[in-house]
Amino acid sequence: MAKLQDKIAVITGGTSGMALASAKLFVDEGAYVFITGRRQDQLDHATKEIGRNVTGVQADSANLGDLDRLFETVKKRKGHIDVLFASAGVGELDKPIGTITETSVDDTLNVNFRGTVFTVQKALPLFRDGGSIILNTSVANAMGFPGASVYAASKAAVRSFARTWTAELKDRKIRVNALSPGSIGDTGTFATIPDQVRNYLISQIPAGRLGLAREIAGAALFLASDDSSFVRGIELVVDGGMSQV
C-alpha cells in the first residue's frame, strides 16, 4: 500500500524546489495535498505540474489572514489534516554583521519564525491525533556561514520548536520533527551561484556533490509516514555529511 494512502497533507511554500518535489511524492504515495505560494502564476504552474489530488491556495505564511483562508479551505474541502510540512521560508545569505537592515530582519523573522508558529497553531484544530508535523529548518542553524546570521538564527528557532511542540503535543500523539536540508543543487537558491562557490560547497560535502530536491522529498516522506512512528523531536539532517564532519 502507498505510504500516505488517503492522507490529507498541507505543504506551505509548495510551488518550487524541495517543497514541490515533496508535494509530488506525497501525491504519488496516495495523499491529497494542499500547497501554498505567494504568486498565483507560480501556484497555477505547480498545481498543473502535480496534476492530480492537489489544491493550490495563494497565501503568504507571514499573513495571518492568508493562513486563516488556507485552513478554512482545507476544512471545507477535506475536513481534517494528517500531515503538515511547514516549508515556507526566506532569507538573505549575504548580510554580514554591519550590513544587516531592519527590513531584512523583519522579512526573515516574519516568514521563518512568526509564519511557522502561526501555520502550526492554526492547523492544529484540524489535525487528527497521531498526525505528523514537519518543520523545515536548515544546516545553517548549526554552522557559522558568514553573512547568514539572521537566517541561521531563524532556522535555529524552528529547530527549537520541534523539541517544545513534541512535548506539548505528546498527548495527541502528533509527531513533530525538523527536516534540515544542506546545499540542494536543483533549487532556485543554487541556480545562479558562481562556479567557484558551487565548487567550494561541493568540496565541503563528503558525498562529493550537491543534493537533489527529490532527496529532501524522500526524507519528508519518511517523517510524514508511519515509517517514522517512533521518531519525535529530531532534526533529520540531509546534507551529504557537510555539517557532520
Residues catalogued as catalytic: 151
For the chain, the distance separating the N- and C-terminal CA atoms, rounded to the nearest angstrom, is 37
Task: List, as one string, the DSSP characters of 12-50.
Answer: TTTTSHHHHHHHHHHHHTT-EEEEEES-HHHHHHHHHHH
Cell of 66: 492568508
Tell me the backbone φ, ψ of residue 167, rounded to 5 degrees: -65, -40
Cβ contacts of 86 within 8 Å, gap of 6 or more: 12, 61, 115, 116, 119, 120, 133, 134, 135, 136
Residues 239, 182 contacting (CB under 8 angstroms):
yes
Q: In whole angstroms, what is the distance from residue 192 CA to residue 200 CA?
A: 15
Cβ contacts of 215 within 8 Å, gap of 6 or more: 184, 238
